[in-house]
Structure 1
């Protein structure tokens, strides 16, 4: 099943919604602000980008329902405005305007997103539904592409995992990191394929000299998938689901056929994908500082459970129905409380990558 059909965050503004349970993701946006502003100041050439048009066009890919996307856009606009002043463009008759495109999966709660738009925003807003692993915009129409804590979602479950007779059949698990070598290789191959599609699509959509800024949730270089803290917490969730299957609460067959399509890449894996694609230069690649907002989440079993539920509830609902959700995540919270140190901060990172589109 394609990710744009299967992976929206929990919509609305209720207690289990993404809007109320995305402090971790907000922490990543905040941590990237200074580095992102520096990259814009040093790497963005507005005179070239706006030579024939005074509208600066930005896309935020995987925007979800807010409010984090709005904070990210404000950070970008603030940095671009400052750059605009430094380059002396305020002396010209051109008035810089901003168009922002908010993109996410087709079933994303765009109603909630647009109801939450800041009233005092200094940009024109539009929604663009669809998977960012394909083309979303006309050729050479964007100046800046941003995506935060989104590209760890793959486009689909690797094909081999759908075959019960395949050595990649992921029986008894919902996540690949603690599975067989065949399953891990299938996910690594899907990651490589998806990144090539992502970069090819962006290379066509962004103008020469335009920037792509990615805030990535990942794992440190050299860290095995099974040691990544982000993978470990999802592996524990899978064990909770299997425990419910053994009790007959859910179908074990449905568990065997269910896989979460998250791939927490390392900086080196992303660097290799960019270099293989060859259409972008890497202008910045740095680990982000750990802010207290992130630590507050990862040190709290309740907050981990709430955040994981906000990003996966729709997936579980589609596969198993509504009736198991409370029991599953209550059991998950209990298991997390029994392992208070399960999240090792040295085995998980957020990092910023800034790419510049090369001229052919």
Structure 2
């Protein structure tokens, strides 16, 4: 499939996501106190446990990748629940979820030993744009940076003659309005599925905790969009030199969106199963260092699937040569996002 989605780079090597995910880690660290507060103030513990015949409290990380960012967030959430249920004896289960191709081996190999963590761990492979758990079996669901990924490339982007035909580009940034609308329509469809599935799986009184990159309004280009469009001229140069066919570039699109904050609010309210407890804007200081390595860790699998390993090696060799241009674009900028706390009605 053109522009198909692949998991983050696995393993623990030079190009791995585990070693090149400090941007995501900064976003998660920025909401650490907010996570604790959300659990302490908004989790309806009596309600979520009232119908349970077990003393097991389940936290799901939807889009966990390969760690280590996920482990810190899970520890933060569970410690807050423990403080809240001071007089209730609970055991904790963390469900680490990501796509089937995710490197769960690396995830579990780097998991803290049981004596150094306060939960049991399991893997749940599959898209969170679908059902993953039994009804009312999850008490807190957590998604960090993962909801920016669409379930698929929007319809029309790779069809010549379509209003959303996105020739010579790999994202909606700087593309015609029809391309941006196609991304928005796919995002609405995906989020409708996401909230319907979570409404079935999360116990009444339970929480969804979301952090994701977002923009204050549609007129603003997200800082991270620069990292995507940075790859475009590299590919076009390779086409001009005859290294790469124009058609291959025309058929490649990255299914990542940076939605408007009010659009996220609208989609939650449309579902009607969750109360918006908090929805606030985030600003995380930008770091241009090692930007190309971060891009590679996130996109190499998708690029490999479409262009092949030999081409991708050349893409990143060229990207390194021009990384100063990306650094200039990212310097002294902040990455905007959203932190949302939703409670199951």
What range is the shorter-chain TM-score in? over 0.9
| Match of residue 120 from structure 2 | 124
SS of 1:50 mapped into structure 2: helix
Alignment partners' CA distance in 1, 2:169 and 2:323: 18
| Match of residue 222 from structure 1 | 217
Q: Can you list the C-alpha shifts for 1:250-295, whole angstroms capped at 9, x where unaligned?
A: 22111100000000112211111111111111111123353xxx53
SS of 1:355 mapped into structure 2: strand
Q: Can you list the C-alpha shifts for 1:73-115, whole angstroms capped at 9, x where unaligned?
A: 0111111111112xxx24xxxx210011010011001111111
| Match of residue 167 from structure 1 | 163
| Match of residue 199 from structure 1 | 195
Native 8 Å contact 1:229 1:344 kept in 2:
no
| Match of residue 268 from structure 1 | 262
Alignment partners' CA distance in 1, 2:322 and 2:188: 33
Which residues of 2 match residues 183-194 of structure 1 at below 5 A? 183-194=179-190
Q: Can you list the C-alpha shifts for 1:44-95, whole angstroms capped at 9, x where unaligned?
A: 121222223311011100000111111110111111111112xxx24xxxx2
Native 8 Å contact 1:133 1:198 kept in 2:
yes
| Match of residue 357 from structure 1 | 344
Is there any run of 5+ residues in structure 1 with no aligned partner, and where?
Answer: none
- Shift of residue 249, structure 1, vs aligned partner: 1.6
Native 8 Å contact 1:282 1:356 kept in 2:
yes
| Match of residue 225 from structure 2 | 231
**Counterpart pick for 2:291 among 301, 304, 309:** 304
| Match of residue 14 from structure 2 | 15
| Match of residue 253 from structure 2 | 259
Is there any run of 5+ residues in structure 2 with no aligned partner, and where?
Answer: none
SS of 1:248 mapped into structure 2: coil
Alignment partners' CA distance in 1, 2:340 and 2:332: 20
| Match of residue 241 from structure 2 | 247
The two structures, once aligned, show a CA RMSD in angstroms of 1.8
| Match of residue 84 from structure 1 | 85
- Shift of residue 326, structure 1, vs aligned partner: 2.9
SS of 2:142 mapped into structure 1: strand
The answer to whether structure 1 residue 104 and structure 2 residue 103 are counterparts is: no
Range moving further from structure 2, 109-118 or 236-245 = 236-245
Alignment partners' CA distance in 2, 1:60 and 1:339: 31
